[in-house]
Amino acid sequence: MRYAETGYNLEIDLATGNIERVETDPKMTELHLGGLGTSVKLHWDRVPPETKAFDPENLLIFSSGILNGTPAFSANRTVVTFYSPQSDLLAYPMMGGFWSAELKYAGYDKVIFRNKSPKWVYIWINNDKVEIRDAEHLKGRGALETQDLVRKELNQPNAQVAAIGLAGENKCFTASIEQSRSSASRLGGGAVMGDKKIKAVAVRGTKDVNLARGAEFMEHMKGVMEYINFRNTNPIQDVMTILSGIGSPQEMVHTDEKWHTENFMWGNARTRRRGFWDEHISKEWPRVQKEGIKRLISCFNCPQHCGALISYKDTPRYMAKCFGKLTYAMAAYVDNMDFAWRTLQRATEYGMDSFSTPQIIAFGIELYEAGILTDNDFKGAPTDKEGRFVWLLDRVARREGIGDVLADGVYYAARKIGNGAEAFDHNTIKKHEQLPLKLSTLDPLYFLMYSTNEKISITQIEGNWPQAAFPTAEQRERFVKDWPQLPDEKWKQILLEWEPRGEKGIPYFPTPDMCSEIVDWMEMLHNIDDACCVCAGMSSFCLKPPYHIHNYPKIISAATGLDLDEAGLKKIVNRSRNLHRALNNRRGMTRADEKPPADHWKRRFPELEEELLSTYYKFKGWNNNGIPTRERLEELDLGYVAEDLEKRGILKDGKN
Amino acid sequence: MAKIKKTIKTIKVDADKCNGCRGCEIICSSFHATPKYSSVNPARSRIQIIRHPLKDIWLPVFAGEYAPAECMGRDKYVIDGKEYEECAFCRAVCPSRDLFKEPDSGLPLKCDMCEGEEEGPLCVRWCLNNVLTYEEREEEVEEQAEMAEMEIGLESLINKYGLGKVADTVARMTQKN
């Protein structure tokens, strides 16, 4: 019997309609655990590096993690992997909601799609019965709307449905996959799904997920539950509200947006508006936010309230989470939360990433204002900024006119438009739009995370280490006093010494060596989360979380029956992480690509930055070009990867 | 018949607090697995959340008595602007729906308030949003004679075939003998 996992994947060939239930190799669980780990392995083994996002050979994998469907709190993520049309690397956006647990209960760990369907279809997975069903009648329907239509058509109110909207159908590079209150948004998963002509994937399961040592597992969960209760009643002091709790940022709960609206950039990551949160706005925005929120909701088996059911005036109902409530208004320079709620609804039904999309539209409007795009491109657009922004959103989702160019994202659009547009592409890395944040002095930890992580999005790399030094010694003492999540006590000293400025401040402190260890720790924890499909909000993404390196091995061991200690678990995720890196190296990624957004920091330190990269590469066992060395790969039982990289000339003499 | 005092165990549901996570379903099915906590399957849970997210309906319902036949109830209730089927509130394991039936065998499930657990029902303890509150209260009820084993058997036969058919059968068997 297999524990925690089902031991079966569903393989669907969309071209032939062939569906197979395939038993997986338990050895893969030992080597890569599950979730992102085992998915990376499948992409490495089965998709040639020459494959492009819209080639039939590009696999699209919907995966659960090793802890989905178990009683582990907040194990509810679905990781979707594919070669991205935007970055051309292996992307792995994740969604919360209820889908992955349902897939496990249906008896599968992953759904693997290959090739393309000749016509629009949706997939219906009902335990052992799996069908490819006609979806021509759903074409053009909203991503959220489609979920209910499919449930109704199947007469299955408890089916969980992941769907794309118009943006996915039209292969917009920022098309998301929407599901319940959640979405797998970044890097164009919706576009790959649309390219394969899959409108939706519905799943219902009524089978058991087994636990190897259930009673022991529940004892660990009791501890996690107690800590969740403790953290929910004891927010961390001396940090801003948004960082004080656990869960994904509690953006639906919190109404004080002074920090985001005044510190994040408006428009195309362009303007900081100090003093925005004034007397009037600080009353009006919270009022409209609350007016829109019907109920605070969560994902599967999670006590938090990161999401909300939005019922705003005459706008059709939808569900929202995180920072999406602000991104559209801020990108459009609209001082009105009414616009935010309305536009987010529209974009959710289109199925678009609410991080990248607003920036793309703001970029288009900037180009128009700069005279690079012309009246001809904006023919028929309203003249008010609200109307014009929504008009352009519609064009992008529909790939009409200039919208067709912008739908490929800022990087490609800038190069296609030319005429100086490239200079307006200032907030992307590896061709992907980043958080609209511009700061003064280079932060060495963030420099490394931005530049080197396979996620290509800072919000899903950072987490356990405070974002900034505490100003006073008392605050630092208070923070380190109770910090059981830390892998090594010695790091407390780093935090105690860390000053907001001066010799013991950024950019030179923490030192490159210290930064390497701290970043590696945060990254490792994210990789454990992503193999388990536990929400980072309960682990790697927040300060002092319920899950950490000391309890994870025990929880995973009790669930799976694998006897893992900390070193064993670290080795597994390191293996998967290095395989992921090698896979991206094999697709052409090198040191030259590892850069933060061009103007993220005003004060840059080129020499230090090179030193940081070199130190970190060395720490990770990568050569100076950011490629894992043969020695490192062999340590991780990845000798076959070294051979492949050598054969391709990516790794020369095992080192360079 | 004489009145006697009886302890009634109930769970009060404050559905407005429900965030829809279904943690109650998970812990219930896992507690009732054999061996305890060896597996999870919300379809086996004796508490189910009736979910219609966009209608703002998240309603935890507990499995109650087995009902051999459908009732006539098909009414609809509008409460606080939300429309509920009458069945939504019903705890019965009934032929009209799949709720509260073992997915493999179709056998009925019934909430037993996690009998044997000293700290009370698990769903109450694992719901961190305090949707569920365990309550015990004393009620005066009519004393009922305990049914004998044969009576229980006969009652289920009567439920299934109707009193007339059972009586006819007994009469026919009597004649044969």
* Cβ-based contacts of B30 with chain A (< 8 Å): 71, 211, 214, 218
Per-residue pLDDT of A330-373, as tens digits, reads 999 999 999 999 999 999 999 999 999 999 999 999 999 999 99
- Per DSSP, what are the bridge partners of residue A320? A308
CATH number for domain A356-427, candidates 2.40.10.340, 3.30.1540.20, 1.10.760.10, 1.10.569.10: 1.10.569.10
Whether the predicted pLDDT of A656 surpasses 60: no
CB contact under 8 A, A209 and B26: no
CB contact under 8 A, B21 and A294: no
* Cβ-based contacts of A319 with chain B (< 8 Å): 53-54
Please classify residue A268 by burial: count the beta carbons closer than 10 Å to its beta carbon, then call 0-12 exposed, 13-18 middle and 19+ buried: buried
Stated as kind and residue range, the H or E segment containing B49 is strand B47-52
Q: What is the pLDDT of residue A81?
A: 98
Model confidence band, residue A655 (pLDDT cutoffs 50, 70, 90): low
Per-residue pLDDT of A377-436, as tens digits, reads 999 999 999 999 999 999 999 999 999 999 999 999 999 999 999 999 999 999 999 999
* Cβ-based contacts of B52 with chain A (< 8 Å): 157
* Cβ-based contacts of A229 with chain B (< 8 Å): 128
Q: What is the pLDDT of residue A249?
A: 83
Angle (deg, nearest 10), helices A566-586 and A552-560: 90
**Nearest-CB residue to B21 (from A214, A298, A318):** A298
By C-alpha distance, which of A127, A76, A187 is closest to A411? A187
Stated as kind and residue range, the H or E segment containing A518 is helix A512-532
In order, the DSSP letters of A587-599 are TT--GGG----TT
- The label of the residue with tokens 């940081």 reads A612
Strand, coil or helix: what is A579?
A: helix
Q: Is B80 left (phi over 0), alpha (psi -120 to 50) or beta?
A: left
Per-residue pLDDT of A495-507, as tens digits, reads 999 999 999 999 9
Is A8-204 CATH 3.40.640.10? Answer: no
Q: What is the pLDDT of residue A161?
A: 98
Percentage with pLDDT > 90 across chain B: 63
Q: Is some CB atom of chain B closer than 8 A to the CB atom of A199?
A: no
Chain A, chain B: beta-carbon pairs less than 8 Å apart: 96
In order, the DSSP letters of A246-300 are SSS--TTT----HHHHHHBPBTTTTB--TT-S-TTHHHHHHHHHHHHEEEEE--T
Whether the predicted pLDDT of A323 surpasses 90: no
* Cβ-based contacts of B56 with chain A (< 8 Å): 294-295, 309, 311
Model confidence band, residue A102 (pLDDT cutoffs 50, 70, 90): very high
Residue A556's alpha-carbon distances to A7, A77, A228, in angstroms, are: 16, 16, 18
- The label of the residue with tokens 């009673």 reads A215
* Cβ-based contacts of A317 with chain B (< 8 Å): 54
- State which residue of chain A sits closest to B48, comparing Cα positions: A158
Mean pLDDT of A45-65: 98
Q: What is the pLDDT of residue A460?
A: 76
Q: B4: distance to nearest CA of chain A, Å?
A: 39
Residue A254's alpha-carbon distances to A48, A244, A466, A542, A612, in angstroms, are: 46, 11, 20, 16, 36
Q: B7: distance to nearest CA of chain A, Å?
A: 29
* Cβ-based contacts of A163 with chain B (< 8 Å): none
Q: Are A133 and A122 in contact (CB under 8 A)?
A: yes
Q: Are A143 and A165 in contact (CB under 8 A)?
A: yes
Q: What is the pLDDT of residue A582?
A: 98
- The label of the residue with tokens 């869960």 reads A247
What residue type is A382 in one-letter code? Answer: P
CB contact under 8 A, A295 and B56: yes
ipTM: 0.95
Stated as kind and residue range, the H or E segment containing B150 is helix B149-161
Per-residue pLDDT of A65-83, as tens digits, reads 999 999 999 999 999 999 9
- Per DSSP, what are the bridge partners of residue B101? B108
Stated as kind and residue range, the H or E segment containing A32 is helix A26-32
Spatial neighbors of A2 by CB under 8 A, at least 6 apart, are A26, A210
* Cβ-based contacts of B53 with chain A (< 8 Å): 180-181, 297, 309, 319
Q: Judging by DSSP bridges, how do beta strands A110-114 and A60-63 pair with one another?
A: antiparallel
Percentage with pLDDT > 90 across chain A: 96
User: What is the location of CATH 1.10.599.10 in chain A?
Assistant: 439-647
Strand, coil or helix: what is B152?
A: helix
> Which A residues, 540 through 599, put their C-beta within 8 Å of a C-beta on chain B?
none
Q: Are A446 and A81 in contact (CB under 8 A)?
A: no
Whether the predicted pLDDT of A129 surpasses 90: yes
CB contact under 8 A, A181 and B53: yes
CATH class, A246-337 region = mainly alpha
Model confidence band, residue B156 (pLDDT cutoffs 50, 70, 90): confident
Per-residue pLDDT of A186-234, as tens digits, reads 999 999 999 999 999 999 999 999 999 999 999 999 999 999 999 999 9
Burial code (b: 16+ CB inside 10 Å, e: under 16) for A487-510 equals beeebbebbebbeeeeeebbbebb
CA atoms of A630 and A639, how far apart (whole Å): 7
* Cβ-based contacts of B44 with chain A (< 8 Å): 208
- Token representation of residue A131: 């069908």
CATH number of A439-647: 1.10.599.10
Mean pLDDT of A308-333: 95
Q: What is the pLDDT of residue A548?
A: 98
A512 preceded by a cis bond (ω within 30 of 0): no
Interface mutation target, options A297, A304, A305, A306, chain B, most CBs of B under 10 Å: A297
CA atoms of B61 and B51, how far apart (whole Å): 11
CB contact under 8 A, A298 and B40: no
Q: A14: distance to nearest CA of chain B, Å?
A: 30
Q: Which positions in chain B have a beta carbon within 8 angstroms of at least one beta carbon in chain A? A: 19-23, 26-27, 30, 33, 35-44, 51-54, 56, 58, 103, 126-129
The full length of chain B comes to 177
- State which residue of chain B sits closest to A152, comparing Cα positions: B52
CA atoms of A141 and A150, how far apart (whole Å): 11
Per-residue pLDDT of B14-59, as tens digits, reads 999 999 999 999 999 999 999 999 999 999 999 999 999 999 999 9
Per-residue pLDDT of A266-298, as tens digits, reads 999 999 999 999 999 999 999 999 999 999 999
Cα atoms in the Cβ-side hemisphere of radius 13 Å centred on B136: 7
Round the average pLDDT of chain A to a whole number and report it: 96
**Nearest-CB residue to B30 (from A214, A298, A304):** A214
* Cβ-based contacts of B127 with chain A (< 8 Å): 303
Model confidence band, residue B162 (pLDDT cutoffs 50, 70, 90): confident
**Nearest-CB residue to A148 (from B19, B54, B58):** B54
The DSSP secondary-structure symbol of A175 reads: B
Q: A351: distance to nearest CA of chain B, Å?
A: 17
Q: Are B11 and B135 in contact (CB under 8 A)?
A: yes
- Token representation of residue A243: 């960082």
Stated as kind and residue range, the H or E segment containing B8 is strand B3-13
User: What is the location of CATH 1.10.569.10 in chain A?
Assistant: 246-337, 356-427
User: Please, what sign has the CA dihedral across residues A259, A264, A266, A272?
Assistant: positive
CA atoms of B80 and B15, how far apart (whole Å): 12
Q: Are A344 and A318 in contact (CB under 8 A)?
A: yes
Residue A149's alpha-carbon distances to A28, A55, A159, A163, A318, in angstroms, are: 37, 30, 11, 11, 14
Whether the predicted pLDDT of A654 surpasses 60: no
A484 preceded by a cis bond (ω within 30 of 0): no
**Nearest-CB residue to A228 (from B38, B56, B128):** B128
CA atoms of A10 and A23, how far apart (whole Å): 9
Per-residue pLDDT of A516-559, as tens digits, reads 999 999 999 999 999 999 999 999 999 999 999 999 999 999 99
Whether the predicted pLDDT of A636 surpasses 90: yes
CA atoms of A196 and A117, how far apart (whole Å): 6
Spatial neighbors of B74 by CB under 8 A, at least 6 apart, are B85, B86, B87
**Nearest-CB residue to B38 (from A148, A211, A299):** A211
CA atoms of A128 and A108, how far apart (whole Å): 10
Q: What is the pLDDT of residue A337?
A: 96
**Nearest-CB residue to B43 (from A105, A157, A225):** A105
Q: B8: distance to nearest CA of chain A, Å?
A: 28
Pick the more confident residue, A656 or B158.
B158
CA atoms of B47 and B60, how far apart (whole Å): 7
By C-alpha distance, which of A371, A536, A539, A377 is closest to A455? A536
Whether the predicted pLDDT of A117 surpasses 90: yes
**C-alpha torsion angle, residues A126, A129, A134, A137 (rounded to 10):** -20
Cα atoms in the Cβ-side hemisphere of radius 13 Å centred on B60: 30
Q: Are B55 and A318 in contact (CB under 8 A)?
A: no
By C-alpha distance, which of A317, A374, A376, A373 is closest to A348? A317
Strand, coil or helix: what is A61?
A: strand
Burial code (b: 16+ CB inside 10 Å, e: under 16) for A40-73 equals bbbbbeebebebebbeeebbbbbbbbbbbbbbbb
By C-alpha distance, which of A123, A119, A120, A121 is closest to A111? A123
Q: Are A172 and A189 in contact (CB under 8 A)?
A: no
